[in-house]
Amino acid sequence: MLPSLSATLLRTAGVSLRRAAAPSLGAVRNLNLHEYQSSRIMAEGGVNVPFGISATTVEGAVAAAAEIGDDEVVIKAQILAGGRGLGTFKSGLQGGVHIIKTSEVAEYAEKMLGGTLVTKQSGPEGKPVNTILLAKKMALAREFYFAIMMDRVSGGPLIIACSEGGTSIEDLAESSPEKIIKVPVNPVVGLTDADVEQVIDGLDASGDRTAAAGQIKALYDVFVNRDCSMVEVNPLAEDEEGNLLAADAKIGFDDNASFRQKDVFDQRDLTQEDPREVAAGKWDLNYIGLDGNIGCMVNGAGLAMSTMDIISLKGGSPANFLDVGGSATTEQVKAAFEVITSDSGVKAILVNIFGGIMKCDVIAQGIIEASRELNLTVPVIVRLEGTNVELGKKLLEESGLKLITADDLEDAAVKAVAAI
């Protein structure tokens, strides 16, 4: 998948605040699917996509190429990160997308499957390639960029289109922003013919406008009917006959709609996600890993952000965002410690709890049990305030554990930085 302007914007949308006490798969923020999965959903919605077959083995790839039946095919590594074409496998193979002879499929499949592809968006650790897509080579005359995302400013869907595509949209937005158009869609009225005409003009499509309009409407219908947070096609291509074709697709989904999009959420690929976030999700903990060394356990997204800010202000570096919510149990608190300490970079843990619905004694008991069961070796700094705070502090004092208590958030941040 190529770099995504839409995805970059969507990452600022915040985190889910849903909570439950029992372990579960957990909330999935903006679930993303692989290209081959997204293409299948688009095809079901009437969007033109290249014929392709996914494979998880070398034998399956060879069979897929034989079914396509051409002398050449396109082989694509399937990972949930953009920039595959310019990426590099840790084995040394350059590029995650290749046009190759059918006779070379076994060779390339062997090199790709089981490998780790590093791209501009994957981070230096890269992503594992467990699936590849064999696609029919298409004769493409032009390449565009097309995306639909939810826009806070307009309060509804926003179509982003550009007459140039197939490359980094971020770079194009910086060098030639005038080529990118944005068409807000009224969510009550829906996509109008005028909206569609504006998009077609922005793409500068040269084929049949009625057919092009049908494809734009089909993409919008997929966005609405499938409860998407984002639909990105890069490139949205035009073949030699002027037909629009979704040559590369990426779809993100609103996790709040998981109950009515079960077939979509069943396709979630956990191997592409941070294992710490997956573990946290099983306990309905909102966790995002960072690259610092002070682990944070806080209740409430706003307080968590403030805690991270003051750690940075005092010269430290937060290792994570972790919000245990307002109704966490002792078991969830223990699970939170397990997730935090699974990061080898964590050198201290700061617990910052303001008890409202969440009771300080519950947090204190979770800290005590986690410290004993996990045999914590890193300093733990605890700041408690609010409901049952005195009982919570008493439990900590009588535990016999070497915990560092703090009077307020600033004191806690100073002590956490000093403890490293």
Residues known to be catalytic: 145, 232
| Contact (CB, 8 A) for 246 and 216 | no
| Contact (CB, 8 A) for 349 and 297 | yes
| Contact (CB, 8 A) for 321 and 287 | yes
12 to each of 49, 58, 150, 401, how far by Cα in Å?
30, 39, 12, 39
In degrees and rounded to multiples of 5, residue 191 shows phi and psi of -75, 120
Output the DSSP codes for 236-283. EEEETTS-EEE-SEEEEE-GGGTTT-HHHHTT--GGGS-HHHHHHHTT
Q: Where are the alpha helices (DSSP H) in 289-408?
A: 301-313, 330-341, 360-374, 389-398
Tell me how far apart the alpha carbons of residues 365 and 49 are, in angstroms, rounded to a whole number: 55
Place of tokens 């997929």: 222
